[in-house]
Amino acid sequence: MNKMGQQEVYTFLKKNKTRWFTSKEIANRLTSSLGSVTTCLKKLRDNSSVSFRYPNKQGQGKNFYIYKFRE
């Protein structure tokens, strides 16, 4: 697995602007560790570069978000 930065996550979401992704889906698509992706997503959330929300599914934990490119 690769060590990655915010730019890779940001670019991935930008290329897939119409879809929402879990952090696990992003990590799998980018063949990176979940921890790395989660850290990048937190930074992108903090500077308002991505949209995030709770999914509509029942039974998910409170710390579970889905992410999308913010236009």
Domain that holds residue 52: 6-69
* H/E run at residue 48: none
User: pTM of the full predicted structure?
Assistant: 0.85
Distance, CA of 63 to CA of 71 (rounded, Å): 24
CB 53 within 8 A of CB 67: no
Count structural domains, the chain.
1
Residue 1 in this model has a pLDDT that exceeds 50:
no
- What is the CATH classification number for the domain harbouring 21? 1.10.10.10
Q: What are the tens digits of pLDDT across the range 17-46? A: 999 999 999 999 999 999 999 999 999 999
CB 4 within 8 A of CB 36: yes
* Residue 1 belongs to some domain of the structure: no
